Structure 1
Amino acid sequence: MTVTNQVVAVVPAAGIGSRMRCDRPKQYLMLGNKTILEHTLQALISHPAISRIVIALSPQDKYFRQLPVANAPWLTVVDGGTERADSVLNALHTLNADDWALVHDAARPCLNHKDVDTLLRTMNHSEVSGGILATPVRDTMKRATEASPETQAVVDKTESRERLWHALTPQLFPAGALRIALEKGLQRKLAITDEASAMEAAGYRVALIDADPANIKITRPADMPLAAFYLQQLHTADRQD
Protein backbone atom coordinates (compact mmCIF):
# COMPACT_ATOMS: atom_id res chain seq x y z
CA MET A 1 0.00 0.00 0.00
CA THR A 2 1.11 3.54 -0.68
CA VAL A 3 0.33 6.80 1.09
CA THR A 4 -1.24 8.70 -1.80
CA ASN A 5 -4.37 10.10 -0.20
CA GLN A 6 -4.61 12.59 2.62
CA VAL A 7 -3.36 11.74 6.09
CA VAL A 8 -5.76 12.74 8.86
CA ALA A 9 -4.70 12.63 12.50
CA VAL A 10 -7.21 11.12 14.94
CA VAL A 11 -6.85 11.96 18.63
CA PRO A 12 -9.01 10.06 21.16
CA ALA A 13 -9.21 12.43 24.13
CA ALA A 14 -12.29 11.39 26.08
CA GLY A 15 -10.45 9.80 29.02
CA ILE A 16 -10.17 11.20 32.53
CA GLY A 17 -6.63 10.08 33.43
CA SER A 18 -7.42 8.99 36.99
CA ARG A 19 -3.82 7.93 37.75
CA MET A 20 -2.71 11.57 37.60
CA ARG A 21 -4.75 12.30 40.74
CA CYS A 22 -5.72 15.81 39.62
CA ASP A 23 -8.87 17.90 39.30
CA ARG A 24 -9.17 17.60 35.51
CA PRO A 25 -8.39 15.17 32.68
CA LYS A 26 -4.62 14.91 32.30
CA GLN A 27 -4.60 16.33 28.78
CA TYR A 28 -5.56 19.71 30.26
CA LEU A 29 -2.66 19.91 32.70
CA MET A 30 -0.18 22.67 31.92
CA LEU A 31 3.20 21.75 30.48
CA GLY A 32 5.08 25.03 30.26
CA ASN A 33 2.78 27.65 28.77
CA LYS A 34 0.42 25.19 27.06
CA THR A 35 -1.71 22.22 28.02
CA ILE A 36 -0.52 18.71 27.18
CA LEU A 37 -3.25 18.49 24.56
CA GLU A 38 -2.19 21.72 22.86
CA HIS A 39 1.38 20.47 22.59
CA THR A 40 0.13 17.21 21.08
CA LEU A 41 -2.14 18.90 18.53
CA GLN A 42 0.62 21.29 17.50
CA ALA A 43 3.09 18.45 17.04
CA LEU A 44 0.63 16.78 14.68
CA ILE A 45 -0.67 19.68 12.60
CA SER A 46 2.80 21.14 12.12
CA HIS A 47 3.82 18.03 10.17
CA PRO A 48 3.46 18.84 6.47
CA ALA A 49 1.84 15.50 5.58
CA ILE A 50 -1.07 15.89 8.02
CA SER A 51 -4.01 17.74 6.47
CA ARG A 52 -6.31 18.00 9.49
CA ILE A 53 -7.09 16.56 12.94
CA VAL A 54 -10.24 14.93 14.29
CA ILE A 55 -10.43 14.90 18.08
CA ALA A 56 -12.91 12.82 20.12
CA LEU A 57 -13.93 14.47 23.38
CA SER A 58 -16.19 13.47 26.23
CA PRO A 59 -19.64 15.07 25.84
CA GLN A 60 -19.13 16.36 29.41
CA ASP A 61 -15.79 18.00 28.57
CA LYS A 62 -15.80 21.56 29.95
CA TYR A 63 -12.18 22.48 29.27
CA PHE A 64 -11.55 22.17 25.56
CA ARG A 65 -13.66 25.14 24.45
CA GLN A 66 -11.55 27.38 26.69
CA LEU A 67 -8.41 26.66 24.66
CA PRO A 68 -7.33 28.97 21.82
CA VAL A 69 -6.96 25.95 19.53
CA ALA A 70 -10.65 25.04 19.89
CA ASN A 71 -11.65 27.14 16.87
CA ALA A 72 -8.78 26.13 14.59
CA PRO A 73 -9.99 25.59 11.00
CA TRP A 74 -8.02 22.35 10.70
CA LEU A 75 -9.75 20.77 13.69
CA THR A 76 -12.95 18.69 13.81
CA VAL A 77 -14.52 17.71 17.14
CA VAL A 78 -16.64 14.58 17.61
CA ASP A 79 -18.11 12.92 20.69
CA GLY A 80 -15.94 10.32 22.35
CA GLY A 81 -17.20 6.98 23.61
CA THR A 82 -16.82 4.94 26.76
CA GLU A 83 -13.76 3.10 25.38
CA ARG A 84 -10.86 4.19 23.19
CA ALA A 85 -12.14 2.08 20.28
CA ASP A 86 -15.53 3.83 20.43
CA SER A 87 -13.87 7.26 20.30
CA VAL A 88 -11.66 6.31 17.37
CA LEU A 89 -14.64 4.85 15.52
CA ASN A 90 -16.63 8.07 15.93
CA ALA A 91 -13.69 10.00 14.50
CA LEU A 92 -13.24 7.59 11.58
CA HIS A 93 -16.82 8.22 10.47
CA THR A 94 -15.70 11.72 9.44
CA LEU A 95 -12.92 10.37 7.18
CA ASN A 96 -13.09 8.98 3.66
CA ALA A 97 -12.44 5.26 3.39
CA ASP A 98 -9.30 5.87 1.33
CA ASP A 99 -7.83 8.43 3.75
CA TRP A 100 -5.02 7.34 6.01
CA ALA A 101 -5.86 7.60 9.72
CA LEU A 102 -2.91 8.51 11.94
CA VAL A 103 -4.18 7.74 15.46
CA HIS A 104 -2.22 9.39 18.27
CA ASP A 105 -2.64 9.55 22.05
CA ALA A 106 -3.68 12.93 23.45
CA ALA A 107 -1.10 12.54 26.24
CA ARG A 108 1.93 11.98 23.97
CA PRO A 109 3.12 15.56 23.37
CA CYS A 110 6.77 14.70 22.60
CA LEU A 111 6.24 13.39 19.08
CA ASN A 112 9.25 13.61 16.78
CA HIS A 113 8.48 14.49 13.14
CA LYS A 114 11.30 12.24 11.97
CA ASP A 115 9.43 9.25 13.42
CA VAL A 116 6.29 10.27 11.54
CA ASP A 117 8.36 10.55 8.36
CA THR A 118 9.68 7.01 8.87
CA LEU A 119 6.19 5.70 9.57
CA LEU A 120 4.83 7.26 6.38
CA ARG A 121 7.71 5.93 4.28
CA THR A 122 7.17 2.42 5.56
CA MET A 123 3.63 2.44 4.20
CA ASN A 124 5.09 2.37 0.69
CA HIS A 125 5.90 -1.32 1.22
CA SER A 126 3.17 -3.55 -0.18
CA GLU A 127 3.71 -6.40 2.29
CA VAL A 128 2.11 -4.52 5.20
CA SER A 129 -1.26 -2.85 5.70
CA GLY A 130 -0.22 -0.26 8.25
CA GLY A 131 2.31 0.43 10.92
CA ILE A 132 2.92 1.69 14.43
CA LEU A 133 5.70 3.44 16.27
CA ALA A 134 7.22 1.13 18.88
CA THR A 135 10.34 0.50 20.94
CA PRO A 136 12.00 -2.88 21.65
CA VAL A 137 11.65 -4.13 25.22
CA ARG A 138 15.00 -3.65 26.95
CA ASP A 139 14.18 -4.52 30.56
CA THR A 140 13.73 -7.96 32.07
CA MET A 141 10.03 -8.83 32.00
CA LYS A 142 8.34 -10.43 35.03
CA ARG A 143 4.90 -12.03 35.10
CA ALA A 144 3.23 -11.58 38.49
CA THR A 145 0.88 -13.79 40.42
CA GLU A 146 -2.66 -12.56 40.93
CA ALA A 147 -2.92 -9.96 43.66
CA SER A 148 -5.65 -8.19 45.59
CA PRO A 149 -5.73 -5.07 47.76
CA GLU A 150 -4.86 -7.31 50.71
CA THR A 151 -2.02 -9.30 49.10
CA GLN A 152 1.32 -8.29 47.63
CA ALA A 153 2.01 -9.30 44.03
CA VAL A 154 5.03 -11.57 43.67
CA VAL A 155 6.93 -12.87 40.66
CA ASP A 156 5.34 -15.88 39.00
CA LYS A 157 8.03 -16.25 36.33
CA THR A 158 10.42 -14.34 34.10
CA GLU A 159 9.23 -13.88 30.54
CA SER A 160 11.54 -13.81 27.55
CA ARG A 161 11.85 -10.30 26.14
CA GLU A 162 12.99 -11.63 22.77
CA ARG A 163 10.92 -10.04 19.96
CA LEU A 164 8.81 -8.04 22.46
CA TRP A 165 8.06 -4.39 21.66
CA HIS A 166 6.34 -1.54 23.48
CA ALA A 167 3.54 -0.22 21.25
CA LEU A 168 3.45 3.57 20.96
CA THR A 169 1.50 5.98 18.80
CA PRO A 170 0.94 7.26 16.16
CA GLN A 171 -0.52 4.18 14.51
CA LEU A 172 -1.24 4.53 10.79
CA PHE A 173 -3.84 2.56 8.82
CA PRO A 174 -6.26 3.07 5.92
CA ALA A 175 -9.35 4.64 7.50
CA GLY A 176 -11.86 2.29 5.87
CA ALA A 177 -10.00 -0.88 6.82
CA LEU A 178 -9.46 0.34 10.39
CA ARG A 179 -13.12 1.25 10.81
CA ILE A 180 -14.26 -2.22 9.74
CA ALA A 181 -11.63 -3.92 11.92
CA LEU A 182 -12.70 -1.94 14.98
CA GLU A 183 -16.40 -2.62 14.35
CA LYS A 184 -15.79 -6.35 13.98
CA GLY A 185 -13.52 -6.42 17.03
CA LEU A 186 -16.16 -4.73 19.17
CA GLN A 187 -18.84 -7.11 17.89
CA ARG A 188 -16.63 -10.05 18.90
CA LYS A 189 -15.97 -8.41 22.28
CA LEU A 190 -12.22 -8.53 21.75
CA ALA A 191 -9.84 -6.66 24.04
CA ILE A 192 -8.92 -3.76 21.74
CA THR A 193 -6.16 -1.90 23.54
CA ASP A 194 -4.93 -0.06 20.45
CA GLU A 195 -5.75 0.21 16.76
CA ALA A 196 -3.10 -2.35 15.78
CA SER A 197 -4.76 -5.02 17.93
CA ALA A 198 -7.98 -4.63 15.91
CA MET A 199 -6.09 -4.80 12.62
CA GLU A 200 -4.11 -7.84 13.79
CA ALA A 201 -7.33 -9.64 14.74
CA ALA A 202 -8.69 -8.90 11.27
CA GLY A 203 -5.69 -10.62 9.69
CA TYR A 204 -3.65 -7.59 8.59
CA ARG A 205 0.15 -7.37 8.79
CA VAL A 206 1.31 -4.42 10.90
CA ALA A 207 4.80 -2.97 10.63
CA LEU A 208 6.82 -2.06 13.73
CA ILE A 209 8.74 1.22 13.40
CA ASP A 210 11.62 1.58 15.87
CA ALA A 211 10.89 5.00 17.37
CA ASP A 212 12.36 7.61 19.66
CA PRO A 213 11.73 6.46 23.28
CA ALA A 214 11.22 10.12 24.22
CA ASN A 215 7.70 9.77 22.76
CA ILE A 216 6.34 8.99 26.23
CA LYS A 217 2.71 8.81 27.29
CA ILE A 218 2.00 10.96 30.34
CA THR A 219 0.13 8.78 32.82
CA ARG A 220 1.57 9.64 36.25
CA PRO A 221 2.70 12.87 37.95
CA ALA A 222 6.36 11.84 37.66
CA ASP A 223 6.03 11.88 33.85
CA MET A 224 5.45 15.64 33.74
CA PRO A 225 9.02 16.90 34.33
CA LEU A 226 10.38 14.24 31.97
CA ALA A 227 7.98 15.34 29.23
CA ALA A 228 8.95 18.97 29.82
CA PHE A 229 12.62 18.04 29.36
CA TYR A 230 11.93 16.11 26.13
CA LEU A 231 9.85 18.98 24.74
CA GLN A 232 12.68 21.40 25.44
CA GLN A 233 15.08 19.10 23.58
CA LEU A 234 12.71 18.87 20.60
CA HIS A 235 12.30 22.65 20.41
CA THR A 236 16.06 23.16 20.64
CA ALA A 237 16.60 20.68 17.79
CA ASP A 238 13.95 22.44 15.68
CA ARG A 239 15.67 25.79 16.11
CA GLN A 240 19.00 24.30 15.03
CA ASP A 241 17.59 22.67 11.87
Structure 2
Amino acid sequence: MTTVETPPETGYWVIVPAAGSGKRMGADKPKQYLPLAGKPLIAHTLDNILGWPGVAGVVVAIAADDHEFATLAAAQDPKVHTVTGGAERADSVLAALQYLSARTAPDTTVLVHDAARPLVSKGDITKLLSAGPIALLAQPASDTVKRTQADQGSPRVSQTLPRAQIWLAQTPQKAPLERLRGALQAGLAQHPEAITDEASALELAGDEPELVAACRSNFKVTHPADLMLAEALLQHRQTLDQIQSGIEQ
Protein backbone atom coordinates (compact mmCIF):
# COMPACT_ATOMS: atom_id res chain seq x y z
CA MET A 1 0.00 0.00 0.00
CA THR A 2 1.40 3.37 -1.04
CA THR A 3 1.45 6.11 1.59
CA VAL A 4 0.37 9.51 0.24
CA GLU A 5 1.93 12.43 2.09
CA THR A 6 -0.30 15.37 2.93
CA PRO A 7 1.00 18.43 1.07
CA PRO A 8 2.06 21.30 3.35
CA GLU A 9 -0.33 24.16 3.90
CA THR A 10 -0.17 27.20 1.62
CA GLY A 11 -1.45 30.77 1.91
CA TYR A 12 -0.23 31.27 5.48
CA TRP A 13 1.37 34.41 6.93
CA VAL A 14 4.49 34.79 9.05
CA ILE A 15 4.88 37.34 11.85
CA VAL A 16 8.37 38.39 12.93
CA PRO A 17 8.53 40.44 16.16
CA ALA A 18 11.63 42.63 15.79
CA ALA A 19 11.05 45.65 18.00
CA GLY A 20 13.26 44.52 20.89
CA SER A 21 16.65 45.84 21.89
CA GLY A 22 18.37 42.50 22.55
CA LYS A 23 19.91 43.64 25.84
CA ARG A 24 21.45 40.23 26.64
CA MET A 25 23.71 40.59 23.60
CA GLY A 26 25.36 43.65 25.16
CA ALA A 27 25.80 45.33 21.75
CA ASP A 28 25.48 48.96 20.68
CA LYS A 29 22.48 48.18 18.45
CA PRO A 30 19.49 45.81 18.47
CA LYS A 31 20.75 42.28 17.94
CA GLN A 32 18.62 41.74 14.84
CA TYR A 33 20.89 44.20 13.04
CA LEU A 34 24.22 42.77 14.17
CA PRO A 35 26.37 41.56 11.25
CA LEU A 36 26.26 37.88 10.42
CA ALA A 37 28.15 36.50 7.42
CA GLY A 38 28.14 39.83 5.63
CA LYS A 39 24.63 41.11 6.35
CA PRO A 40 22.34 41.80 9.32
CA LEU A 41 21.02 38.83 11.28
CA ILE A 42 17.39 39.62 10.44
CA ALA A 43 18.21 39.71 6.73
CA HIS A 44 19.20 36.04 6.87
CA THR A 45 15.99 35.23 8.76
CA LEU A 46 13.80 37.02 6.22
CA ASP A 47 15.59 35.46 3.25
CA ASN A 48 14.96 32.08 4.85
CA ILE A 49 11.25 32.81 5.45
CA LEU A 50 10.67 34.06 1.92
CA GLY A 51 11.90 30.68 0.68
CA TRP A 52 9.42 28.65 2.74
CA PRO A 53 6.85 26.72 0.70
CA GLY A 54 3.49 28.43 0.26
CA VAL A 55 4.12 31.59 2.31
CA ALA A 56 1.67 34.37 1.41
CA GLY A 57 3.41 37.21 3.24
CA VAL A 58 5.45 38.39 6.19
CA VAL A 59 4.60 41.07 8.76
CA VAL A 60 7.60 42.43 10.66
CA ALA A 61 6.91 44.38 13.86
CA ILE A 62 9.65 47.00 14.27
CA ALA A 63 10.35 49.74 16.81
CA ALA A 64 8.83 53.17 16.19
CA ASP A 65 12.30 54.71 15.81
CA ASP A 66 13.70 51.94 13.59
CA HIS A 67 15.26 53.48 10.48
CA GLU A 68 17.46 50.52 9.55
CA PHE A 69 14.86 47.98 8.48
CA ALA A 70 13.93 49.96 5.36
CA THR A 71 17.54 49.66 4.11
CA LEU A 72 17.37 45.86 3.92
CA ALA A 73 16.96 44.21 0.53
CA ALA A 74 14.20 41.99 1.92
CA ALA A 75 12.24 45.07 3.00
CA GLN A 76 11.65 45.83 -0.68
CA ASP A 77 10.00 42.46 -1.31
CA PRO A 78 6.25 42.93 -2.00
CA LYS A 79 5.48 40.08 0.42
CA VAL A 80 7.08 41.96 3.34
CA HIS A 81 4.95 44.36 5.42
CA THR A 82 5.78 46.29 8.59
CA VAL A 83 3.88 47.46 11.66
CA THR A 84 4.99 49.36 14.74
CA GLY A 85 5.74 46.93 17.54
CA GLY A 86 5.35 47.33 21.29
CA ALA A 87 7.39 47.20 24.46
CA GLU A 88 7.13 43.41 24.78
CA ARG A 89 7.15 40.55 22.29
CA ALA A 90 3.44 39.83 22.85
CA ASP A 91 2.57 43.48 22.11
CA SER A 92 4.45 43.31 18.81
CA VAL A 93 2.80 40.05 17.79
CA LEU A 94 -0.62 41.42 18.68
CA ALA A 95 0.00 44.55 16.57
CA ALA A 96 0.86 42.33 13.60
CA LEU A 97 -2.25 40.20 14.18
CA GLN A 98 -4.41 43.33 14.25
CA TYR A 99 -2.87 44.36 10.92
CA LEU A 100 -3.60 40.95 9.39
CA SER A 101 -7.14 40.72 10.77
CA ALA A 102 -8.15 43.61 8.52
CA ARG A 103 -6.62 41.96 5.46
CA THR A 104 -7.23 38.22 5.57
CA ALA A 105 -9.68 35.59 6.82
CA PRO A 106 -9.93 34.88 10.57
CA ASP A 107 -8.99 31.21 10.09
CA THR A 108 -5.81 32.05 8.16
CA THR A 109 -2.83 30.15 9.52
CA VAL A 110 -0.20 32.39 11.13
CA LEU A 111 3.35 31.39 12.02
CA VAL A 112 5.25 33.56 14.53
CA HIS A 113 9.02 33.32 14.13
CA ASP A 114 11.91 34.93 16.03
CA ALA A 115 14.04 37.40 14.08
CA ALA A 116 17.07 35.82 15.79
CA ARG A 117 16.48 32.27 14.46
CA PRO A 118 17.96 32.42 10.96
CA LEU A 119 18.74 28.71 10.63
CA VAL A 120 15.40 26.91 10.82
CA SER A 121 15.28 24.27 8.08
CA LYS A 122 12.67 24.05 5.35
CA GLY A 123 12.16 20.43 6.32
CA ASP A 124 11.10 21.48 9.82
CA ILE A 125 8.79 24.13 8.35
CA THR A 126 7.15 21.49 6.18
CA LYS A 127 6.63 19.27 9.25
CA LEU A 128 5.11 22.19 11.18
CA LEU A 129 2.76 23.09 8.32
CA SER A 130 1.63 19.46 8.11
CA ALA A 131 0.93 19.28 11.87
CA GLY A 132 -2.30 20.22 13.62
CA PRO A 133 -3.72 23.77 13.51
CA ILE A 134 -2.01 24.79 16.78
CA ALA A 135 1.60 23.65 16.98
CA LEU A 136 5.19 24.75 17.52
CA LEU A 137 8.68 23.62 16.76
CA ALA A 138 10.51 22.41 19.87
CA GLN A 139 13.57 20.46 20.93
CA PRO A 140 13.32 17.48 23.31
CA ALA A 141 15.65 18.07 26.26
CA SER A 142 18.85 16.06 26.06
CA ASP A 143 20.51 17.32 29.26
CA THR A 144 19.35 16.52 32.76
CA VAL A 145 17.14 19.41 33.93
CA LYS A 146 17.40 20.84 37.45
CA ARG A 147 14.95 23.10 39.29
CA THR A 148 16.31 25.65 41.77
CA GLN A 149 14.82 27.49 44.72
CA ALA A 150 14.17 31.19 44.23
CA ASP A 151 16.57 32.02 47.06
CA GLN A 152 19.29 34.59 47.40
CA GLY A 153 22.91 33.61 46.96
CA SER A 154 24.27 30.72 44.88
CA PRO A 155 21.56 28.62 43.22
CA ARG A 156 21.12 25.12 44.59
CA VAL A 157 19.25 22.14 43.18
CA SER A 158 15.82 21.58 44.68
CA GLN A 159 14.57 18.97 42.21
CA THR A 160 15.61 16.95 39.17
CA LEU A 161 12.86 17.04 36.55
CA PRO A 162 11.97 14.03 34.38
CA ARG A 163 13.82 14.77 31.14
CA ALA A 164 11.37 12.81 28.98
CA GLN A 165 8.69 15.39 29.80
CA ILE A 166 10.81 18.46 29.02
CA TRP A 167 10.80 20.18 25.63
CA LEU A 168 12.53 23.47 24.78
CA ALA A 169 10.20 25.74 22.82
CA GLN A 170 11.40 27.17 19.52
CA THR A 171 9.72 29.06 16.70
CA PRO A 172 7.82 29.20 14.44
CA GLN A 173 4.70 28.76 16.54
CA LYS A 174 1.50 28.21 14.58
CA ALA A 175 -2.19 28.99 15.11
CA PRO A 176 -5.26 30.35 13.30
CA LEU A 177 -5.17 34.15 13.20
CA GLU A 178 -8.23 35.01 15.31
CA ARG A 179 -7.64 32.20 17.77
CA LEU A 180 -4.16 33.49 18.50
CA ARG A 181 -5.29 37.11 18.60
CA GLY A 182 -8.03 36.32 21.13
CA ALA A 183 -5.67 34.26 23.27
CA LEU A 184 -3.03 37.01 23.36
CA GLN A 185 -5.57 39.72 24.16
CA ALA A 186 -7.07 37.70 27.02
CA GLY A 187 -3.69 36.61 28.33
CA LEU A 188 -2.25 40.12 28.35
CA ALA A 189 -5.35 41.43 30.13
CA GLN A 190 -5.43 38.69 32.80
CA HIS A 191 -1.97 37.14 33.18
CA PRO A 192 0.62 39.26 31.32
CA GLU A 193 3.50 37.83 33.35
CA ALA A 194 2.68 34.33 32.07
CA ILE A 195 2.88 35.21 28.37
CA THR A 196 6.41 34.26 27.30
CA ASP A 197 5.51 33.02 23.81
CA GLU A 198 2.45 32.41 21.66
CA ALA A 199 2.00 28.86 22.92
CA SER A 200 1.79 30.07 26.53
CA ALA A 201 -1.10 32.39 25.61
CA LEU A 202 -2.88 29.56 23.79
CA GLU A 203 -2.34 27.25 26.78
CA LEU A 204 -3.97 29.82 29.08
CA ALA A 205 -6.92 29.87 26.66
CA GLY A 206 -7.32 26.10 27.03
CA ASP A 207 -5.46 24.83 23.97
CA GLU A 208 -2.83 22.09 23.97
CA PRO A 209 -0.33 23.01 21.23
CA GLU A 210 1.25 20.12 19.36
CA LEU A 211 5.04 19.75 19.70
CA VAL A 212 6.95 19.20 16.46
CA ALA A 213 10.55 18.05 16.94
CA ALA A 214 13.03 20.41 15.27
CA CYS A 215 16.71 20.31 14.40
CA ARG A 216 19.25 21.67 16.89
CA SER A 217 20.38 24.24 14.31
CA ASN A 218 17.19 26.21 14.98
CA PHE A 219 18.69 27.95 18.01
CA LYS A 220 18.05 31.57 18.99
CA VAL A 221 20.98 33.97 18.70
CA THR A 222 21.09 35.46 22.19
CA HIS A 223 24.73 35.80 23.25
CA PRO A 224 27.87 36.85 21.31
CA ALA A 225 29.09 33.24 20.99
CA ASP A 226 25.83 32.36 19.23
CA LEU A 227 26.78 34.66 16.34
CA MET A 228 29.99 32.72 15.76
CA LEU A 229 28.13 29.41 15.77
CA ALA A 230 25.44 30.75 13.42
CA GLU A 231 28.08 32.02 10.98
CA ALA A 232 29.84 28.65 10.96
CA LEU A 233 26.57 26.83 10.25
CA LEU A 234 25.63 29.30 7.50
CA GLN A 235 28.99 28.80 5.81
CA HIS A 236 28.58 25.02 6.09
CA ARG A 237 25.14 25.19 4.46
CA GLN A 238 26.47 27.39 1.66
CA THR A 239 29.24 24.88 0.98
CA LEU A 240 26.74 22.02 0.84
CA ASP A 241 24.50 24.04 -1.52
CA GLN A 242 27.45 24.71 -3.82
CA ILE A 243 28.36 21.02 -3.86
CA GLN A 244 24.75 20.06 -4.60
CA SER A 245 24.55 22.67 -7.36
CA GLY A 246 27.70 21.28 -8.94
CA ILE A 247 26.32 17.74 -8.84
CA GLU A 248 23.07 18.82 -10.50
CA GLN A 249 24.96 20.62 -13.27
Unaligned runs of 5+ in 1: 124-128
The correspondence for 1:202, drawn from 205, 219, 241, is 205
8 Å Cα contact 1:102-1:170 kept in structure 2 = yes
| Shift, 1:205, TM fit | 2.6
The one-letter code of the counterpart of 1:158 is T
Given the superposition, is the C-alpha separation of residues 111 and 195 from structure 1 closer, same or farther in structure 2, using an over 3 Å criterion?
same
Match of 2:94 among 89, 93, 96: 89
Q: Deviations over 1:192-215 (max 9, x none)?
A: 111111111111231110110110
CA distance in 2, matches of 1:93, 1:237: 40
Contact 1:132 1:170 survives alignment (8 Å): yes
Cα distance in 2 between the residues matched to 1:232 and 1:143: 37
Q: 1:63: how far off?
A: 2.0
Aligned: 1:102 with 2:111 = yes
Q: Per-residue displacement from partner, 1:157-201 (whole Å, max 9, x unpaired)?
A: 322222110000011111111001111111112411111111111
SS in 1 for 2:163: coil
Alignment match, 1:180:
182
> Does 1:54 find its partner at 2:63?
no
TM-score by length of 2: 0.88
More helix by share: 2
99-108 vs 225-234, which deviates more? 225-234
Q: Is the counterpart of residue 132 in structure 1 residue 141 in structure 2?
A: no
Which of 25, 32, 41 matches 2:30?
A: 25
Q: CA deviation at 1:143?
A: 1.5
Shift of 1:146: 2.6
CA distance in 1, matches of 2:151, 2:84: 36
| 1:146 aligned residue | 150
Identical positions, percent:
43
* 2:4 counterpart residue number: none
More deviation, 186-195/84-93: 186-195
Match of 2:76 among 56, 71, 74: 71
Distance 1:175 1:169 in 2: 16
Does the 8 Å contact 1:45/1:51 carry over to 2? no
Q: Secondary structure at the match of 1:222?
A: helix
Q: Which amino acid aligns with 2:121?
A: N
Structure 2: tracts of 5 or more residues without a match: 1-6
Task: Tell me if structure 2 keeps the 8 A contact 1:112–1:234.
Answer: no
Encode CA deviations 1:68-96: one digit per residue, 9 max, x unaligned: 32222111100101111110011011222
TM-score, with length taken from structure 1: 0.91
Q: Which residue of 2 aligns with 1:113?
A: 122
> How far is 1:100 from its partner?
0.9
For residue 153 of structure 1, give the secondary structure of its aligned residue in structure 2: coil
Q: CA deviation at 1:237?
A: 4.0
Aligned residue in 2 for 1:126? none
**Secondary structure of the equivalent of 2:188?**
helix
Distance in 2 between the 1:89 and 1:235 partners? 35
Alignment match, 1:166: 168
Q: Secondary structure at the match of 1:51?
A: strand
- Alpha-carbon distance change, 57 to 168 in structure 1, aligned in 2, over 3 angstroms: same
Paired with 2:196 and 2:83, the residues of 1 have a C-alpha distance of 20
Aligned to 1:94, the other structure's residue is in SS state helix
Aligned-pair CA distance for 1:33: 1.3
Where in structure 1 do 4 or more consecutive aligned residues deviate above 4 Å?
2-5
